[in-house]
Amino acid sequence: MMEEGESNKRPCPRTSNNVANATNGNLEKILNFPLPSSESIGCIVKIYSDDEIPLNDVMEVVGVLSFNTPGVLVDDEEPEEFQPPSSVVPRIHCIRTQKWEHNNPYLPSHGGQKWVEDTTAVTASSTSVRDELHGLFTEFFLGDSLAADYLLCHLLSRVYSRKDTLALGKLSLNLTNIPVDSVVFQESYPRVLFSLLERLVTKAHYLPMSLENLNTLRMIPKKDYQENRLIAGCLQLSSQTHLVLDETLMTEGQLVADGVRNVTAIGNIASWQKIEYDFNYHQVEFHTDIPVLILSERRSIVATDVNLPLRLNLQRGTRFSDLVNKLENDAELLVRMRNYLTVVRLLSFKLDDTMQEAVQRDFIQSRAPGQTNPMSTEDFHLLLVLSRLLALTYGKSELNFDLWQRAKSMEAERKNRLLHSRR
């Protein structure tokens, strides 16, 4: 939690009776975490400068820690807003802040000579690490190498720029034909996939998209005017938190009004990387950077950039838990994969004039009279995003013609699967 303040405004740490009682009765309400199961320690950071801090960014804060023993009241002044006791939620009086571009503990902070040296080493070995990751995902998808390619690209996606309403760089992914037969697989396929991913990325959250959760969970942050604070929602996630939605748990039934709003909120993140906070009388829009992966039996109720039906070879006798254990038992491999995913995601990327002309020529030729499958502007935009991410998977900061052709081949195969899956 963060609170802005001016240098001449004295913080009011007094604990009112209703807050003290709530401390004993409902700690989760006091801490107000977006994810109630979080084991983090809550803290209010008081900022006395005019620096603007974007919502939900991950920050490093240097300051003076302040907390009181339980039951101690500092003064008799009532707080202007909800103030949990500092014995439960300490205060930090901020001196300096710094935004984190990543939170991988195995790598130095972004920028600086050490970052350059470490990232150069990671980039040099990116092709071999890519092969290891691609092999791991292909094994998990029972031989489906195309799914492994798209998942790799998805894991490297991030919003690097915005233009009008577009969030450039995102790649929301819906994998369909997800197996749900526990007799065949012995394990929950979506849960094991999440177990695999949460070991590879630094931040991830699994959200079962059951009808009950959609109708009852608070996903959108809402302003409580009585206590004058924002009540957190489970979609209030920090940038680059990988959101895995399990739609295989959806059952027949009716979405109530809250359920419809929750589905709309998820769709806004997947399509536009934005979320509208509920301030009762009006909605306030905030930008997000949350990669969305949806696992479903059929096409999801939420629109995504990419929909890919899996082609699993059920004859392969893969024990999915063995893949997870492989990572757990090989610390060096796990660190190598984690560093790869962190570094190549942050590589700068450019499209030189020669490649710009080549891709534009492809687009124009595909729309020439007589072409059976003309490329739409949406198809062209997706190809640009996919080819950029595909290049990054190989540690390359520039697109070449071979990778462009590879991206086109991936899209052609994906569309062919979609065509046959509708028959």
Does residue 105 fall inside a structural domain? no
Confidence of residue 175 (pLDDT cuts 50, 70, 90): very high
Boundary (domain end) residue, out of 99, 132, 153: 99
Residue 312 lies in domain: 112-345
Claim to verify: residue 249 and residue 367 sit in the same structural domain: no
Tell me how many domains the chain contains. 3
Q: Which residue has the higher pLDDT, 215 or 111?
A: 215
Count CB-CB contacts under 10 A for residue 363: 17
Q: What average pLDDT does the chain have?
A: 86
3-class secondary-structure state, position 374: coil
pLDDT reported for residue 8? 37
Does residue 410 fall inside a structural domain? yes
pLDDT reported for residue 59? 87
Residues facing residue 92 across a β-bridge: 45, 65
Claim to verify: residue 130 and residue 78 sit in the same structural domain: no
Claim to verify: residue 35 and residue 130 sit in the same structural domain: no
pLDDT reported for residue 5? 38
Does residue 104 fall inside a structural domain? no
Claim to verify: residue 64 and residue 144 sit in the same structural domain: no
Claim to verify: residue 120 and residue 214 sit in the same structural domain: yes
Q: How far apart are the first and last CA of the chain?
A: 51
Beta carbons of 77 and 35 less than 8 angstroms apart: no
Does residue 261 fall inside a structural domain? yes
Claim to verify: residue 193 and residue 73 sit in the same structural domain: no
Q: Which residue has the higher pLDDT, 186 or 354?
A: 354
Q: Sheet containing 59-66: which strands, arranged edge to edge?
A: 2-4, 44-47, 91-99, 59-66
Claim to verify: residue 173 and residue 27 sit in the same structural domain: no
Q: Which residue has the higher pLDDT, 77 or 15?
A: 77
Q: Lowest-confidence range among 67-76, 78-87, 258-267, 361-370?
A: 67-76
pLDDT reported for residue 317? 65
Claim to verify: residue 253 and residue 295 sit in the same structural domain: yes
Which of 96-105, 142-151, 358-367: highest mean pLDDT? 142-151
Q: Lowest-confidence range among 50-64, 210-224, 287-301, 338-352?
A: 50-64
Count CB-CB contacts under 10 A for residue 32: 19
Claim to verify: residue 85 and residue 141 sit in the same structural domain: no
Q: Sheet containing 204-208: which strands, arranged edge to edge?
A: 204-208, 242-246, 292-295, 173-176, 306-309
Claim to verify: residue 288 and residue 406 sit in the same structural domain: no
From residue 280, give the alpha-carbon distance in Å to each of 200, 225, 262, 305: 39, 9, 15, 31
Confidence of residue 30 (pLDDT cuts 50, 70, 90): confident
Does residue 149 fall inside a structural domain? yes
pTM of the model: 0.88
Question: Exposure pattern of 282-312 as b/e (b: 16+ CB <10 Å)?
Answer: eeeeeebbbbbbbbbeebbebebbbbbbbbb
Q: Lowest-confidence range among 28-42, 52-66, 120-134, 228-242?
A: 28-42
pLDDT at 185 over 90: no
234 closest CA partner among 378, 33, 65, 404: 33
pLDDT at 72 over 60: no
Does residue 198 fall inside a structural domain? yes
Boundary (domain end) residue, out of 99, 124, 151: 99
Region 29-42: what's the mean pLDDT? 76
Residues facing residue 203 across a β-bridge: none
pLDDT reported for residue 70? 54
pLDDT reported for residue 40? 74
Q: What is the pLDDT of residues 137-168, one digit of tens each?
A: 999 999 999 999 999 999 999 999 999 889 99
Claim to verify: residue 213 and residue 232 sit in the same structural domain: yes
Q: What is the pLDDT of residues 298-354, one digit of tens each?
A: 999 999 999 999 998 877 766 777 888 888 889 999 999 999 999 999 999 999 999
pLDDT at 80 over 60: no
pLDDT reported for residue 380? 95
Boundary (domain end) residue, out of 99, 131, 149: 99
1 closest CA partner among 88, 71, 70, 75: 88
Q: What is the pLDDT of residues 224-268, one digit of tens each?
A: 888 888 889 999 999 999 999 999 999 999 999 999 999 999 999
Claim to verify: residue 62 and residue 120 sit in the same structural domain: no
Residues facing residue 206 across a β-bridge: 244
